Amino acid sequence: MGGPSAEREVSLSTGNACAAALREHGGYEVIEVDAGHDLCAVLTEIKPDVVLNCLHGRWGEDGCVQGLLEWMGIPYTHSGVLASALAMDKQRSKDVYRAHGLPVVDSVIAPSADVRAGHVMAPPYVVKPNNEGSSVGVYLVQEAANGPPQLDADMPEEVMVEAFAPGREMTTTVMGERALTVTDIITTGWYDYDAKYQEGGSSHIVPADIPQEIFDLCMEYALTAHRALGCRGVSRTDFRWDESKGASGLVLLETNTQPGMTATSLSPEQAQAVGISFPELCAWMVEDATCGR
């Protein structure tokens, strides 16, 4: 847990929550590791039977730590090297979605300097890093914007510029080969980092009170995305739904191969809704762990 990414604090929360849940479940000796540059040496000393990967963001979610664990021959949770790297690259994962008939909005990869200099597509649009999660570094450019976004200096040299998808924010967790349910995420504004992780930042309706056709499509699309990317273990796919367009208004945003496991996280809440407690979910992930994922 932890690690050096922009999502370090969320990862620490996930790791602490999962460690407590496994101790509550019983049957496991749990050792928390704050992943640093000495990770290989620490794992060599600990000699774990399984690594429950609670890292978020780059290095922990993009195939890097997965490659290390494959090299060391230590079974681990969630997706493997290829699926992790692919899902973390938002533009390439969209290419996979399109190839499997899944609906997405238009997007381009553009130099940050060009994005700061002028609109690279007609507003409204969203600017985000191509390889971060948890709504880190996301800019929403409204239709009435007078000028382009002034991106922070720490944004990468290239970013994704994506057409804004209006409507309701929804999500579906896949656990193994099973889509769990659909959550309708209610916020007073943009579903940003604070809305995701601060108490009271958003409210969740689970299962979502939406037409059965849209519910079923979310379940189908999430499972298709999980399989198309080659995901393993638990993943979560996020959607936007424009009610005015019916089924054609539903689009995929992205698939998270390392969903958050904090007090406000969506996947544990969905598991609970279908009768799987948080300790049971964490135990399932541990028992599902393998190499060669």
In the residue annotation, 7 being an active-site residue is answered as yes
Q: Annotated catalytic, 58?
A: no
Residues forming a β-bridge with 240: 169, 251
Active-site hit among 58, 260, 265, 293 = 260
Q: 236 an active-site residue?
A: yes
Q: Of 100, 286, 250, 103, give the one whose Cα is nearest residue 169.
A: 250
Tokens of 92: 């390439």
Q: Is 260 a catalytic residue?
A: yes
Out of 197, 202, 265, 267, pick the active-site residue.
Answer: 197
Contact indicator for 139, 63 with CB cutoff of 8 Å: no
Point out the catalytic residue in the list 236, 240, 265, 293: 236
Residue 263's nearest CA partner among 272, 276, 250 is: 272
- The catalytic position among 112, 256, 265, 267 is 256
The reply to whether 197 belongs to the active site is yes
154 annotated active-site? no
Catalytic residue among 254, 265, 267, 293: 254
Q: How far is 3 from 20, CA to CA, in rounded Å?
A: 19
2, 3, 5, 7: the active-site residue: 7
Q: Say which of 80, 139, 238, 265 is annotated catalytic.
A: 238
Q: Determine the Cα angle at 36 with ends 58 and 92, to 5°.
A: 15
Which is the catalytic residue, given 107, 134, 235, 265?
Answer: 134
**DSSP one-letter code for 54:** -
Burial 262-287 (b: 16+ CB within 10 A, else e): bebbbbbbbbbbeebebbebbbbbbe
Residues paired with 171 in a beta bridge:
183, 238
Catalytic sites, residue numbers: 7, 134, 197, 236, 238, 254, 256, 260
